[in-house]
Structure 1
């Protein structure tokens, strides 16, 4: 029987969870799983890792009870456990980092705010504009992520195709772009390209996972 008291046992288990997210690759894997279920091979390609390395990171997330596998024929697919709570954990981690870590503030200033000087729009403001039908929603994630779920009414033009898909966007209405989350660069780069073409465009403050976790309207 463990000699630890109940509080110490709980803290030990929480420390296991903290250890599970204590690697940048695993945080990025969680960001991808927040878009929807993913195969090991697909994650390896998206992260630029070997299959073995990706599998090792997924096993650590599984032991931390953050992700779980499902076999689909010969493929092993992973999804988040307690999706809303995991997304909330990542959001809280980001807020603490932005407030307390100088390196994060440097990146925010030197890349995000330099590349896109306009303040991102909040979810609350976007909801008001959507009710007024006064904006166009632009999802710049890849097509497979869009198909698994997206903000209701959004148009999907993947960032890789943004210059070819510009003709689909209205010039007489503001555009709100979003992607995988607050640190996803796809919407930052897409906004810069479209603004240079004369479009009135701003970014959503976070992304699809946070919108879904907040219980706001999505389509699948």
Structure 2
């Protein structure tokens, strides 16, 4: 294949997208951005990075067509370019889960030890919600919850669990969700709730996947 052929030019652009995904910080930033439309400052704080470093990562992701941005006063806010970005991240995760031994070791060594029970599917949760058989718990930070959440979900972060346990119906199964399939917050919340005698399980994925599936969403 000639280096100046149209196919080579296309593959070069595809490679640029793949390169943009090739850093753990950038993958995590995409997960944070998928929750709403955060500012650079908020993303830097959430990721534990400097604003300058965060801006560099975001610029690379935007140039690769994975992010869009808008000016909001003195702040720049970022969002996923479209839902195909979330689908791309999901496929990346599934390929790694199936074919990378190190990923399987991490999942089995940490995540499944934290919660060996099968998570609740979106369809199952929707059916339980319709019959009033479940309490849905959103354990993300308040700003992410306000940007969009599963209808009727309570927003209780990990640090608030003990002080707000009385808000949870002990006769209901509690289904907790977070930012995505491997968001540690939901694993830790479910473990904490079980040690306090509540019947708790995780949603199979996170809020962004729920939204992209076309399921009902509320904003606050």
Q: TM-score range by the shorter chain?
A: over 0.9
Answer yes or no: is the 8 Å Cα contact 2:187–2:202 preserved in 1: yes
Q: Which moved more, 1:19-28 or 1:62-71?
A: 62-71
Name the count of aligned residue pairs.
218
| CA gap 1:72/1:171 in 2 versus in 1, 3 angstroms | same
Q: Secondary structure at the match of 2:76?
A: strand
Alignment of 1:72-111 (within 5 A): 72-82=72-82, 84-111=83-110
Indicate the RMSD between aligned Cα atoms, in angstroms: 1.3
Q: Counterpart of 2:209?
A: 210
Q: Which runs of 5+ in 1 are unaligned?
A: none
Q: Secondary structure at the match of 2:161?
A: helix
Q: Which runs of 5+ in 2 are unaligned?
A: none
Answer yes or no: is the 8 Å Cα contact 1:142–1:159 preserved in 2: no
Matched, 1:59 2:49: no
Q: Which moved more, 1:3-12 or 1:32-41?
A: 3-12
- Alignment partners' CA distance in 1, 2:159 and 2:9: 48
- Alignment partners' CA distance in 2, 1:70 and 1:51: 17
Q: Counterpart of 2:8?
A: 8
| CA gap 1:3/1:100 in 2 versus in 1, 3 angstroms | closer
C-alpha distance after superposition, 1:147-195 (max 9, x if no partner): 0000111111112212211110000011110000011000100000100
Normalized per residue, the structure richer in strand is 1
TM-score (norm 2): 0.95
Q: Secondary structure at the match of 1:219?
A: coil
- Alignment partners' CA distance in 1, 2:113 and 2:101: 17
TM-score (norm 1): 0.95
- Alignment partners' CA distance in 2, 1:158 and 1:7: 49
- Alignment partners' CA distance in 1, 2:3 and 2:14: 17
C-alpha distance after superposition, 1:42-101 (max 9, x if no partner): 11111111111111101100110111221112111111111x111111111111111111
Answer yes or no: is the 8 Å Cα contact 1:139–1:155 preserved in 2: yes
